[in-house]
Amino acid sequence: MTRLTRLTRLTRLAATRRRSDAGLTLVELLAAVAITGVVIPALTGAVIIGWRTTDDTIARLSDNRNRAITPSLWTRDLQSATTVDRNGAVSTCLAAGDTLLARFAWTETPLTGSAVTRVAAWVWTGSTTRLVERRYCATSGSITSSVTTAHDVTAAPVATCRTAGGAVVAGCGTTTVVVDLSVTDPSGTFLSTGRRRAA
């Protein structure tokens, strides 16, 4: 091998070592910073929009749930009812701190043949987050189940009892045929209306 060939090979080897040990050039570093400066704000904006959208979606789903479950259970209970009352002094199906909206009672005869009186009390309850709940119990008055039918209630719900002719019945009673429940949540007010079959 000639001296010139050896020298060329050593120069190439040194140049290869210099390139691998060189790191970043100033131009490459500035290009990386510029690209990062464009990408990071776009990603941050997308994440913030995602969080806001998630919160709005959760609120809408909660309000839609209120509007789906409350009328369904309200109508079913009222259709079964033989008696309707709004007497908060009677503690059947109530817990401490409840505000009674309406209480429906009816008699069922299971396959065993013994008649059982069932009671569904609709109450407004809660401390900071106000809820509409449906409390279910037997004649003994002890609560056997409770379902939250409306969350984040912003104003006191109103139950209005009416006769078949549409006249308002104070406190409800034997002439009650239709009962309306007006509930206000963050999306507005919705009305649940039920009619007694037994009337």
Task: Using the predicted structure, report yes or no on whether residue 199 has a pLDDT greater than 60.
Answer: no
155-162 β-sheet, strand order: 168-169, 155-162, 178-185, 188-195
**Tens of pLDDT, residues 84-120:** 888 888 878 888 888 889 998 888 887 877 888 888 8
Under 8 Å CB-to-CB from 109, ≥6 apart: which residues? Answer: 115, 116
Give the C-alpha separation, 175 to 198, whole Å: 11
Among candidate residues 118, 153, 152, 120, the one with its CA nearest the CA of residue 134: 120
Among candidate residues 105, 102, 77, the one with its CA nearest the CA of residue 87: 102
Q: Which of 11-15, 131-135, 144-148 is least confident?
A: 11-15
In the structure encoding, which two tokens stand for residue 92, read together?
A: 């059947």
Give the C-alpha separation, 59 to 70, whole Å: 17
Query: What is the pLDDT, as a whole number, of residue 92?
Result: 80
Query: What is the pLDDT, as a whole number, of residue 15?
Result: 61
Query: What is the pLDDT, as a whole number, of residue 3?
Result: 61
Give the C-alpha separation, 161 to 100, whole Å: 14
In the structure encoding, which two tokens stand for residue 168, read together?
A: 């308002």
Give the C-alpha separation, 129 to 46, whole Å: 31
Give the C-alpha separation, 140 to 92, whole Å: 8
Mean pLDDT of the chain, nearest integer = 82
Give the C-alpha separation, 62 to 68, whole Å: 10
Please indicate, yes or no, whether the overall pTM of this predicted structure exceeds 0.85: no
Contact 141, 93 (CB under 8 A): yes
Give the C-alpha separation, 81 to 106, whole Å: 5
Under 8 Å CB-to-CB from 3, ≥6 apart: which residues? Answer: none
